[in-house]
Structure 1
């Protein structure tokens, strides 16, 4: 249980990513188009603040070994009953958050948003409270607050006001003419270098190429990148003030970080314009939304800090290093069950964003899956991989059932554009990925991690764990009934001998049956 600090961070990242995908990519919620704009903006601001707070606390825990040790030890001794209760509260919160997307038409979500506001707000509270108390008891939270002291208070304050700081900086987009012009002409240079005819009107804050034009407002201008960089730099310098060379850090590194943030924002805007012109205008417009920008610039700011931490010349003494009692991330089994699934989901988002026909990007997704599984190869190779005939038979049953209940004859746009050789190569990648890689990644997450996380020693807890993990599995695969039944079967196979590898074998067998049928019939929509 000492590695719970890894999977809770992975879970947090995965959930935030899912929220961004659902409400900004798969459906587009615009507060100004709802009947409760102010309430909508408050809710959106709360999510951004929680994201900043979560990242800020993660930085604090990482650079304060005593706090990290306290959290790890507290998480390790959480009673199973309390853990189950707060896991249930957290899961209920997630269901309430995603309820609007599951029950409403994504195209009309703005109009029906007031109906679901209470569900979203209550879900956010439940998910946040449940997530905290899954790891720490109330007494542990109090102890953590006392141990964190002033440093904790400062981190919380800075993290929570980062969105307000961004709002204060927002007028700079209009008042600092040099920033606006530099950004617009920078985007124009990038687009022109790629062979595009660019039309821009900085006075109206409009730029585009071909038939696609966008108005870049202050909320999508990259100002939030400056605010995030300043906020996380302030947290880092406060935590590392005894070792980092503050003069060099703020005098040289901080301006460079702001320049990097500006440069990547130029690339982001240029990339979104190209997506709008050549791929999908809807995807491009969604990419300009605040959630996507905040997530992008948070990762960028943390990347800069990672580089700073790795540069000895910026420190007066050896920088803090992780505790020796925690295993390396790549050798941690729980991390191996979570991180590949995150990479798998992100690769899907990448395909949806940059390919007119996302199905054609499957070889890229396969490469990402191979790479991340190779990184975590030690935990996976350390599992018990003994063959189980029962798992094999269960998988065959699932595969046949999936084919019998499938709607045949559906087409996948894009495959017709491939030549014979390219189609064969794509098909090989699809079969390998579907039959070998996906089962490992999905079963590691749903049955290796989620089933174990929700489960317990009592029958009721086990039933709840099977139902919860199967429902999540079904939501990912679209066909709720068929995928739900498959999820239950895979869960029972995993519980039979307590081995996730049995579930992987069953899933691989099922996918292998389906992939063979798809290849023989040429109907790849079966997968």
Structure 2
């Protein structure tokens, strides 16, 4: 059902999800969230390792030589808008389950190693890994199993909606996730380059990380 091209985009995302599930299981078995913080370091290291090993398979990550300055400004602006939506779309009905968050403090002292890894992971690693899976692979694969042949601009409404909905369900702030999924989908389809949603996603996560550190709203991490 899946070939090598599929696997290379599923594996890093699958590894990330595996560690999320592992953390949930350990919490249910009585582990404290603070005792599992280093698991994020391992998770990011594994994902980076997989992305690096399979880097030659990611043809969609070749830098677009014909991209315009406007493309990147639109992506950055979209990332800022998604960030604003993310911290405001928090009504009870917009939240699914309860997010554990990531609190890098020990006795009210911030562990800057953990903060640095979290920021790098959220702003640099996760956007590449997730956009390879959600936009480049899944959204196009729903349209046609030979997804690499699908022009992003020609993705159908069904694939667009399913991808946005699943992206929403992957986040506890599901309504904000839905909004983000729609924005990132549109960026990919309009620009034709995966670097556009990657940049937007990185902008969202980077600003969110800085905001979390400045305000202490660790639940958003």
Task: Give the TM bin, normalised by the shorter chain.
Answer: 0.7 to 0.9
Supply the RMSD in Å over aligned alpha carbons: 2.9
Residues 455 and 462 of structure 1 are in contact (CA less than 8 Å); yes or no, is this contact kept in structure 2? yes
- Corresponding residue number in structure 1 for 2:109: 420
- Corresponding residue number in structure 2 for 1:389: 73
**Partner secondary structure for residue 499 of structure 1:** coil
The alpha-carbon deviation at position 339 of structure 1 amounts to: 1.0
CA 1:342 to 1:418, structure 2 compared with 1: closer, same or farther past 3 Å?
farther
Distance in 2, matches of 1:441 and 1:413, equals 20
Q: Is 1:437 matched with 2:125?
A: yes
The alpha-carbon deviation at position 381 of structure 1 amounts to: 7.2
- Larger Rg belongs to: 1
Distance in 2, matches of 1:382 and 1:413, equals 32
- Corresponding residue number in structure 2 for 1:400: 84
CA 1:411 to 1:490, structure 2 compared with 1: closer, same or farther past 3 Å?
closer
Residues 395 and 505 of structure 1 are in contact (CA less than 8 Å); yes or no, is this contact kept in structure 2? yes
CA 1:385 to 1:401, structure 2 compared with 1: closer, same or farther past 3 Å?
farther
Q: Is 1:467 matched with 2:145?
A: no
Distance in 2, matches of 1:382 and 1:495, equals 13
Alignment of 1:38-77 (within 5 A): none
Residues 392 and 505 of structure 1 are in contact (CA less than 8 Å); yes or no, is this contact kept in structure 2? yes
CA 1:383 to 1:494, structure 2 compared with 1: closer, same or farther past 3 Å?
same
- Corresponding residue number in structure 1 for 2:12: 340
Distance in 2, matches of 1:479 and 1:411, equals 12
Q: 1:351-394 CA distances to partner (integer Å, 9 max, x unpaired)?
A: 33446234612212222222211222223476233472221211
Residues 490 and 507 of structure 1 are in contact (CA less than 8 Å); yes or no, is this contact kept in structure 2? yes
**Partner secondary structure for residue 477 of structure 1:** coil
Aligned residues: 195
Q: Is 1:489 matched with 2:183?
A: yes
**Partner secondary structure for residue 478 of structure 1:** coil
TM-score normalised over the length of structure 1: 0.34
TM-score normalised over the length of structure 2: 0.76
Distance in 1, matches of 2:211 and 2:190, equals 29
CA 1:426 to 1:406, structure 2 compared with 1: closer, same or farther past 3 Å?
farther
CA 1:5 to 1:403, structure 2 compared with 1: closer, same or farther past 3 Å?
closer
Residues 400 and 513 of structure 1 are in contact (CA less than 8 Å); yes or no, is this contact kept in structure 2? no
Where in structure 1 are there 5+ consecutive unaligned residues? Answer: 7-328
Out of 21, 24, 32, which is 1:357 matched to?
A: 32
Residues 473 and 484 of structure 1 are in contact (CA less than 8 Å); yes or no, is this contact kept in structure 2? yes
Residues 494 and 502 of structure 1 are in contact (CA less than 8 Å); yes or no, is this contact kept in structure 2? yes
Where in structure 2 are there 5+ consecutive unaligned residues? Answer: 92-98, 145-149
The alpha-carbon deviation at position 508 of structure 1 amounts to: 0.8
Distance in 1, matches of 2:103 and 2:203, equals 27
Distance in 1, matches of 2:20 and 2:218, equals 17
